[in-house]
Structure formats: C-alpha cells, structure tokens
Amino acid sequence: MQPPEQKTAKEEYVQELIRSGLLREKERWITEMIRPERLMRMHQVLNQRTRYISVLLEAIDDGHNQAAVLRSADAFGVQNISIIEGDKPFQPNKKVTQGSHKWLTIQKHPDLQTALQKLRSEGYQICVTYLGDGAVPIGEVDLSRPAVLLFGNEHRGISEEAARLADQKFYIPMVGFVQSFNISVAAALTLQEMTKRAREIAGQRYFLTAEEKRELFLEWIMQSLRPPLRDKVQQILAKSKRPGGQKEDIRLSV
C-alpha cells in the first residue's frame, strides 16, 4: 500500500490532470496502475511536445543512425516521425533509442510521393538538408508554417526527387575541411536549431492542442502498462464514447 502522504500527493495530481483535460473523471481508475512520478513526467513532457516540426527519414539504413535520430527527436520534443525504408528495413537499435521510440508517433510510407502528399495535406512544408544550389543557411529557413525536416541516406544523401520536390533547402554552415556531418549529428543539430526558432516564431501554435495532448497522454499510459494489462485497459477505454457518439480510439505508437 502507498504511504498516506504519497497517496494524498498522487490524488492531488490526479485532480490536476482532470482539471487540465488530460483525464476524465470516469478514467480516474487508470492512474492507480501508474506511479505518480511517471504521471508527472508525462504531463511535463506533453506541455513541451510539438507537431509543428516533424521529421521524415528517407532510406536511412543503419539501425544506430535510425535510433539516434529518434532519440534526438524525443529529446527536442518532436512527436511525429515519418519513415521511407531504403535497402534495409527500419529497425532502430533499441540500446541507442533508450526507450525513446515508445513515446513517438512513427508512420511508415511506401514511397516519397505518398509521404509528401500526406504531409502536405496536413499543412506541412518540406525542408531538406542539401549542399547544392539554392540552399540557404539553416538560420534563414522560413518557419512561419509547420515544417517537415527531411534527412536522406547516410551515403547518398537525399534523393534527386526529394531535392526537386522540396519547398526549402538548407545547410548547416561549417568552417572546417569537412563538408558534411553524419546523419545522426546533422539531425540533432538541425532539430535543436529548428525547434528553438519555430517555438519563437509560432508561439502557441508550436505546441499540441488540448485534444492532441489528451490523446497522446492515453497512448503513453498504455505504453507504461505490461501487455496483458494494457490489452484489458484498451478494451475498457474502447467502450467509452467520444463527444458526438464516436468510440474512443486509443492507438499505440510504434
């Protein structure tokens, strides 16, 4: 049993989750299965999460590189990752991700055209790392609209098609003899710069909406439960109704 003082602190925090809209009164029972420290951490992370900046990986083959990009995305609060597989399947090294992949929304696409069509339909502009003509320094990228950051293969870079279809091309200025970074380093530097600038430019638009936070909060709770219990909780939640009569749709991230 929990000590009385810990139980009281947790109850106060559950009330805060209900007031914030992340949890509904009838879902209070879910929190009995989650440590209060984990609930608090979820709440804190959600308040900094964004879909204003997203990532698209085109044919990144190395599992360590795949994992490193996911870890950087999570670290900088970027929620959505789109994947186009290359010569090898998308299998990020879990020792490198350190569990960060569990908290991201990852979607695979069959090809570049399909991925870009979907992302543009969601309001994104496509920004690619590029060393050729027409590229601007990373600090000059226009972030007045949501942006997908497209990173290409470790050896070939982005495809010619990606370069042709991009809305903006950018590069990371360097002053040494080398002209490029490893994909994982380039992604980390780009995410740090782009999220910082986008947050300043977009203001409140940068962050998740209240409904997005709630949906993600429930997904993360599912991720925190062991599979047998997770399945049972999902079944119970699926029976509840959304406003308008639609069933609750709790999807697990990849």
**How far apart, in whole angstroms, are the C-alpha atoms of residue 51 and residue 34?**
26
Cβ-Cβ contacts under 8 Å for 19 (sequence gap 6 or more): none
- Angle value at C-alpha 234, between 230 and 239, nearest 5 degrees: 160
CA 25 to chain centre: 28
Crossing angle, helix 36-46 and helix 210-223, to 10 degrees? 140
Written as one letter, the residue type at 174 is M
Q: Is 172 annotated as a binding residue?
A: yes
CA-wise closest residue to 167 among 120, 209, 118, 132: 120
Structure tokens at 50: 């964004």
pLDDT of residue 137: 97
Strand partners for 171: 137
CA distance 13 to 19: 10
The CA distance from 81 to 36, in Å, is 28
- Alpha-carbon span 113 to 178, nearest angstrom: 32
Structure tokens at 227: 């599979």
DSSP letter for 148, please: E
How far is 155 from 226, CA to CA, in rounded Å? 39
As a whole number of Å, the end-to-end CA separation of the chain is: 33
Q: CA-CA distance, 190 to 171, in Å (whole number)? A: 9
pLDDT for 229: 81
Q: What is the pLDDT of residue 138?
A: 97
Q: What is the mean pLDDT of each run of 10 residues along the chain (254 residues)?
A: 62 86 86 84 95 97 96 98 95 92 96 97 96 93 98 92 96 91 95 98 97 94 84 76 44 35
Q: Look up residue 252 and give its two tokens.
A: 């697990």
Tell me if 129 is assigned to a ligand binding site.
Answer: yes
pLDDT of residue 254: 32
Is the Cβ–Cβ distance between 165 and 71 less than 8 Å?
Answer: no
Here the tokens at position 210 are: 């209240």
Question: pLDDT tens-digit profile of 140-199?
Answer: 999 999 999 999 999 889 999 999 999 999 999 999 998 889 999 999 999 999 999 999
Domains in the chain, CATH or no CATH each: 19-49+209-254 (no CATH), 53-206 (3.40.1280.10)
Query: Is 159 in contact with 112 (CB distance < 8 Å)?
Result: yes
Chain centroid to Cα 84, Å, comes to: 16
Residue 90 amino acid letter: F
At residue 107, the 3 state secondary structure works out as strand
Other Cβ atoms less than 10 A from the Cβ of 167: the count is 16
**Would you say 239 and 247 are in contact if contact means Cβ atoms under 8 Å apart?**
yes
